[in-house]
Structure 1
Amino acid sequence: MLTAFGLRTVQHYRRTGETGFRGVTGHPGSLEWWGGVLFVLALLLALLAPIVQLTGVLAPISALDAMPVRIVGGALAGTGIIGTLAAQHSMGTSWRIGVDHVETTGLVTHGAFALARNPIFTDMVAVGLGLTLLAPNPAALAGAALLFTAIEIQVRAVEEPYLLAAHGQSYRDYAAQTGRFLPTFGRIPAA
């Protein structure tokens, strides 16, 4: 979290003079608001899960408590962190956390965004799944479920409608040829 949010925020501030944080937006109870709140809760559970497992408050799920599972978890988390940083770098000065509906940034379609429209979220899912496998307890599983739900809400109900409104046909063309989270999967049919 420190590298994905802290390091990137410092870099963005040095380049642009602002943090890039737009925070939890939308009216309380709206899909946009729920996406932000669930994301924050997922991050808190990601921090809490290993602590409660190490202190013995929650035991790991026995079927997942094995060295091969931890190795896969470590590989997923590490790959996801590197991918997140690379995708954030691809965004340049367009990088934001959250959406400000009155602000329009450039449409990023190069780098990691040439492979998927939401590579940062794809990599965050890899990190979340990896961390869950490293500390496979009920808190970690709940955090992963909240993360997946928050990302789906953020992408489908907030970011895609915003990008379509802000960039129109350019975004529609990009979405028709680039998958939502993985190459070719989740393309939006061309209008």
Structure 2
Amino acid sequence: MDDKTLGGIALATMVAFLAVAFGLRAVLHHRRTGTTGFHGVSGRPGSAEWWGGISFVLALVLGLVAPAAQLSGAVAPLAWSRSPVVTIAGGALALAGIVLTLAAQHAMGSSWRIGVAAGEATELVTSGPFALVRNPVFTAMITAAAGLVLLAPNFVALVGLVMLVLAVHLQVRLVEEAHLRATQGQGYLAYAERVGRFLPGIGRLRTNPTNNTAARKV
């Protein structure tokens, strides 16, 4: 397939992914709970939390712009990407990431949220994919994004992928983990001690018994 065709496939895949993972998911969540689950960007403008949310939105926008730019011919794929092996690997990663994202969202049930609301405590989900990693939705989303980059790789796509990884780390470390420690207490700390952050066994927390705070396990 030529470069523009791959850009079109990547763009269509990204649009479908966003429509299902965010649009359809929000509709189904509203029917189930009466709320869409969207809480927006946390933190005061300019704070690390705020930048995490803004970076996440920008990363999703770049995920659409990159394949669209390749489809239009505005940007060219990177030289190393012109290989059937890279294309096949990208398609496989994208498909696996999308399926795993939807599966992890489903496993969250009524606890699914985008962003956090101060004081809101949802059920702590620790089963299914959450028994392997604490943030399987984000892990799967990054996997899907990496696959789409390989499917239609260009400079804009790489910038979007890097921004997504940074945004997810900021959101999880500075916003969601602090929120879960505040609302779930020892239940979350015990869970985080045994389950990795994004990959099994990596990024577990350890509790400091002297001051009841948590630090990342190296």
Aligned mates of 1:26, 1:20 — CA distance in 2: 18
Aligned mates of 2:186, 2:35 — CA distance in 1: 29
Paired residue for 1:67?
A: 84
The structural deviation recorded for 1:190 is 3.8
- Find out whether 1:178 has 2:182 as its counterpart: no
Q: Which residue of the other structure, out of 36, 39, 42, is the alignment partner of 2:59?
A: 42
Among all aligned residue pairs of Structure 1 and Structure 2, give the percentage whose two residues are the same amino acid. 57
Q: Can you list the C-alpha shifts for 1:100-143, whole angstroms capped at 9, x where unaligned?
A: 11211111111111110000000011011011111100110000
SS at match of 1:189: strand
Q: Which runs of 5+ in 2 are unaligned?
A: 1-17, 209-218
- Find out whether 1:168 has 2:192 as its counterpart: no
Alignment of 1:67-146 (within 5 A): 67-146=84-163
Alpha carbons 1:73, 1:131 under 8 Å: kept: yes
- Find out whether 1:152 has 2:169 as its counterpart: yes
One-letter identity of the residue aligned with 1:30: S
Aligned mates of 1:146, 1:38 — CA distance in 2: 6
One-letter identity of the residue aligned with 2:149: T
Alpha carbons 1:38, 1:147 under 8 Å: kept: yes
Aligned mates of 1:16, 1:99 — CA distance in 2: 16
Aligned mates of 1:190, 1:65 — CA distance in 2: 48
One-letter identity of the residue aligned with 1:146: M
Aligned mates of 1:161, 1:55 — CA distance in 2: 43
Aligned mates of 2:82, 2:152 — CA distance in 1: 8
TM-score by length of 1: 0.97
Paired residue for 1:189?
A: 206
One-letter identity of the residue aligned with 1:149: L
Structure 1 or 2, whichever has the larger Rg, is: 2
Alpha carbons 1:65, 1:136 under 8 Å: kept: no
Q: Can you list the C-alpha shifts for 1:19-43, whole angstroms capped at 9, x where unaligned?
A: 0000112110011110110011000
Aligned mates of 1:132, 1:87 — CA distance in 2: 22
Aligned mates of 2:126, 2:207 — CA distance in 1: 16
TM-score by length of 2: 0.86
Cα RMSD (Å) of the superposition? 0.9
One-letter identity of the residue aligned with 2:133: A
Q: Aligned pair count?
A: 191
SS at match of 1:182: coil
Deviating above 4 A after TM superposition, structure 1's stretches of 4 or more consecutive aligned residues are none
One-letter identity of the residue aligned with 1:180: R
More relative contact order in 1 or in 2 (CA 8 Å, sep 6+)? 1
Q: Which runs of 5+ in 1 are unaligned?
A: none
Paired residue for 1:8?
A: 25
SS at match of 1:185: coil
Alpha carbons 1:39, 1:146 under 8 Å: kept: yes
